[in-house]
Amino acid sequence: MSAKEAVVTELHKPARVHYRRRRVIIKGINDLFQADLIEMIPYAKQNGGNKYILAVIDCFSKYAWAEPVKSKSAEEVTQAMEKILSTSKRIPRNLQTDNGKEFYNASFKKLMKKYQINHYSTFSQIKSAIVERFNRTIKSMMYRLFSLNGNYNYTKHLRDLINTYNNTVHRTIGMKPSEVDSGNEAFLLKNIYSSVGERRDKQRFNVGDYVRISKQKTVFAKGYTPNWSTEIFKITSVRKTIPYTYLLEDVNKQPIQGAFYAEELQKTKYKD
């Protein structure tokens, strides 16, 4: 096989999408909140022009909040987040979101500083999984409501829907989110959140290895397009997370944001 044929083979090698990822380590109530916007654009006219819902969840207790917003603007999202923080009187130590502009702007940064919240994002295509599961749950509840009422108005029912969710037993914790408090926090930490998993993977790459990055195409992407980057990257650090993750730099020695799983990388012999 010629070098050119070998490179083409690398580019079109199947890329895995489903694989084991790092667990979210949660230390207790108000340790980590996740936030996300639920898109409701088709129903804006029936809901006072609100195109989105800001969803926030305490990852430990699964207790959630939601506020409708008219746009993804920095001002709208920041005001909605402040309303949730001030009315709930619960301030997280950490807040995880995606890296969208609605969360990364001067207004939101000022809010995080005001409440001394450590705001961060992951750079994987896999977003904040806990809040996204909540999003699916609350949207399912809304669509049942739409069918029952024969219209698409949700804003006047949103508080009741969230209250129903918070007072329904959550499978992960075995109790209602509203029941989680300082009295049972230690029990949950010991019995639900204590296991961080055992190492079952092997270190597949070393510092100095040259790799391609998986494109992780969406389901609508053409199956015959290359699955891997034509650009080559170098591994600069191996993190002993469970599973292992890897830090990269490009050919100009500029670090690449985020850490990568082994399944997102393919070693190459052709670094030029």
Q: Is the dihedral of CA 29, 142, 125, 35 positive or negative?
A: negative
245 closest CA partner among 123, 130, 127: 123
In degrees and rounded to multiples of 5, residue 171 shows phi and psi of: -60, -40
Cross-strand bridge partners of residue 37: 54
CB 188 within 8 A of CB 181: no
Fold match flag (3-21+199-267 vs 32-191): no
Both tokens of residue 203?
């270190």
Distances (CA, A) of 200 to 26, 195, 214, 247: 21, 14, 22, 20
Query: Residue 219's pLDDT band (boundaries 50, 70, 90)?
Result: very low
Q: Which CATH architecture has domain 32-191?
A: 2-Layer Sandwich (3.30)
Peptide bond into 42 cis (omega under 30): no
Residue 56's H or E segment, with its range, is: strand 52-58
Q: What is the CATH number of domain 3-21+199-267?
A: 2.30.30
* 245 — pLDDT class (breaks 50, 70, 90): confident
Q: What are the extents of the domains in the chain?
A: 3-21+199-267, 32-191
- pLDDT tens profile 102-143: 999 999 999 999 999 999 886 554 456 889 899 999 999 999
155: closest CA among 36, 43, 39, 35? Answer: 43
SS3 category, 69: strand
Say whether pLDDT at 91 is over 90: yes
d(CA 79, CA 64): 17
